[in-house]
Amino acid sequence: MMEHTLLLVDDEPFSLELMSELLESDGYRTVQAESGEEAWSRLEAEHERFCAVLLDKMMPGLSGMELLARIKENPDMEHLPVIIQSAFGSPGSIQQGMSAGAFFFLSKPFSRDMLLAVVKAAVSHWDRQLYFREMGLHQEGTMMLLQDAEFTLRTLQEAHAVTALLARACPVPERVASGLYELIANAVEHGNLEFDFQDKQRLLAEENWDNALEARLADPAYAQRQVSVRFQRTAEGITFTITDQGRGFDWQAVLNAGPAALLRPHGRGILLAKLSSFDQLEYPGDGSQVIARLLL
């Protein structure tokens, strides 16, 4: 199993010790920093060691938001997931953090379960980034020549492979990969296999999500359904069209949700794709098709 090390940054030693104890009891390694300056020194020296940063927003000296800006401005660290913690969880604060590149905004006080769920989502995000980077290395030059292609798939494993390939056809692969995977995974899980948000939350809490996915993929009522992923490059930009064979969903409620929706550890994929990965995102019908665009 891959070792996951987290950098914890807070100017309150008690908070650091509490978080460290909770996270290490769940199998993570932790490194503590009591200031933004100390955290930045550690990141400059050994950023590749960490798979996520948990960062207090309000600190004397180098604040959490200033440290987040430094991380996102550094090409070697910009894709490192950063979880912002704050006692002030106003919609404006959440929007500020997410717009600056934060992976998640964790409002204090938070429960053990919420902390572990958010960290698990951030670490999974990091693991996927590493996978996409490794899978795409061999196609990097050739894929920039791709003009038009279409793939059909059924499973999340196939979604990983297609995402890794198509992200390398884009100018900034790491920016696209996360959002593209979220859109394809949404088409598989919630489109073709018709799991709703509550189903997934419950099955994840019961640690039965993977088994439920496999069972539904084998169910004759769903086994023949496929997701189509179309890639098109023009002088104006790159377009991804993702189509599933499900019943659609209330996409307007998702896209028009306020910043508070980003506080959920699950069900945030579409919003993150809209905010972080693509210049335009639209659902032209009932939600069974999504069009995502990069402008060049």
Q: Return per-residue pLDDT of the chain as tens, 296 residues.
A: 468 999 999 999 999 999 999 999 999 999 999 999 999 999 999 999 999 999 999 899 999 999 999 999 998 998 899 999 987 666 667 777 777 888 888 888 888 988 998 999 899 889 888 877 776 555 556 788 899 999 999 999 999 989 988 998 998 888 899 899 999 999 999 999 999 888 888 898 888 999 999 999 999 999 999 999 999 999 999 999 999 999 999 888 888 776 666 666 556 788 888 888 999 999 999 999 999 999 98
Interatomic CA distance for residues 26 and 40, integer angstroms: 26
Residue with tokens 């899980």: 189
Cα dihedral 160→49→103→101 (10° resolution)? -110
Question: Do 80 and 52 contact (CB within 8 A), yes or no?
Answer: yes
Question: Do 9 and 55 contact (CB within 8 A), yes or no?
Answer: yes
Question: Do 152 and 228 contact (CB within 8 A), yes or no?
Answer: yes
Phi-psi group of 85: left, alpha or beta (phi > 0 → left; psi -120 to 50 → alpha; rest → beta): beta
Q: Which residues of 266-292 are buried (b: 16+ CB within 10 A; e: fewer)?
A: ebbbbbbbbbbbbeebebeeebbbbbb
Per-residue confidence (pLDDT) for residue 141, from 0 to 100: 66
Per-residue confidence (pLDDT) for residue 261, from 0 to 100: 64
Name the DSSP class of 12.
-
Per-residue confidence (pLDDT) for residue 198, from 0 to 100: 83
| CA dist list (Å): 176 to 8, 84, 105, 114, 294 | 27, 22, 21, 27, 9
Give Cβ neighbours of residue 101 (< 8 Å, ≥ 6 apart).
68, 71, 72, 78, 82, 276
Dig out the tokens for 270 from the structure.
């579409």
Per-residue confidence (pLDDT) for residue 140, from 0 to 100: 56
Give Cβ neighbours of residue 250 (< 8 Å, ≥ 6 apart).
287
Interatomic CA distance for residues 276 and 30, integer angstroms: 27
Q: E strand or H helix at 8, and its extent?
A: strand 5-9
Residue among 45, 124, 99, 74 at smallest CA distance from 84: 99
Per-residue confidence (pLDDT) for residue 138, from 0 to 100: 56
Per-residue confidence (pLDDT) for residue 285, from 0 to 100: 92
Interatomic CA distance for residues 150 and 221, integer angstroms: 25
